[in-house]
Amino acid sequence: MKQDTPAPDGRSVRWEAHRIERRSALIKAARRAVHTLGAQASMEEIAAASGTSKSVYYRYFGDKSGLQQAMGEVVINQMQDKILAAGRSADSPRSGLRAMVSAYLQMAQTSPNVYAFVTGSAGEAPGISEPGVAVALSHFFANISEMMDHAVQAYLEGHDTGSLTQAAAGFWPIAALGMVRAAGERWLATPAPDRPSEAEMTDQLTAWLFDGIGWDTPGRQTREA
């Protein structure tokens, strides 16, 4: 005997849609507040800057960690989409890597406070984020690493390399990501007069990743001790 599936309650559907919309609006408001106030802003400060009460944020996100996770998912997904799009639009492995590094630095530079808030790169333990954000970051780096791995393999196909180089190449994307992230966070924290421009930093990181630091460049003049 056929059983009829109960129709969804219209009020429940409308309430869920309202809740999703309200949650999105709170994340956007919190993002603007953190951009202005800094990564160490409290929930009370964020709520006040957003024109609402702290209890509203607690109702939707539980606590500051929940807000960090929710904002992190949005920001990290936006960064991932822009970086992957930059890599896909390039016409060579090197230009693809440069485009990805540039996109990463540009996104981080747009709001260092928001970047530090969602990645946990501010405070006493740089780079340590909440578990939910750590998962989002893990997926982010895995996706970026996969694209970089394809670029490395394409680059090596045009060069005469040994089996050891081929095997070690698999470690290059994660090492490259670690360097770009660490250097990028140090770059963001460096005062403007002593900090290279985004374009200069992008060029330098790309050169380091593809060419090394350059101490053994052929023809380099060395001074006698």
Rg (CA), the chain: 22
d(CA 203, CA 101) in angstroms, rounded, equals 9
pLDDT interval class at 9 (50, 70, 90): low
Q: Rounded mean pLDDT of 163-176? A: 79
H/E element holding 46? helix 43-49
pLDDT interval class at 16 (50, 70, 90): confident
Query: For the segment 172-211, what is each residue's pLDDT rounded down to a tens digit?
Result: 888 888 899 999 999 999 988 889 999 999 999 999 988 8
Q: How many residues are present in the chain?
A: 225
Residue carrying structure tokens 């939910």? 132
SS3 of residue 102 by DSSP: helix
Tell which residue, 43, 44, 207, 195, has the closest CA to residue 112.
195
Helix (H) and strand (E) counts in the chain: 10, 0
H/E element holding 18? helix 10-37
d(CA 87, CA 97) in angstroms, rounded, equals 7
Give the 3-state secondary structure of 154-185.
HHHHCCCCCHHHHHHHHHHHHHHHHHHHHHHH
**Does position 74 have pLDDT exceeding 60, yes or no?**
yes
- Using CA atoms, how far residue 44 sits from 64, 90, 114, 178, 185, in Å, is 10, 44, 17, 34, 27
pLDDT of residue 159: 67
More confident residue, 164 or 116: 116
SS3 of residue 74 by DSSP: helix
d(CA 85, CA 147) in angstroms, rounded, equals 11
Q: What percent of the chain has pLDDT over 90?
A: 42
d(CA 41, CA 67) in angstroms, rounded, equals 12
d(CA 101, CA 79) in angstroms, rounded, equals 11
Least confident stretch, 22-36, 74-88, 93-107, 153-167: 153-167
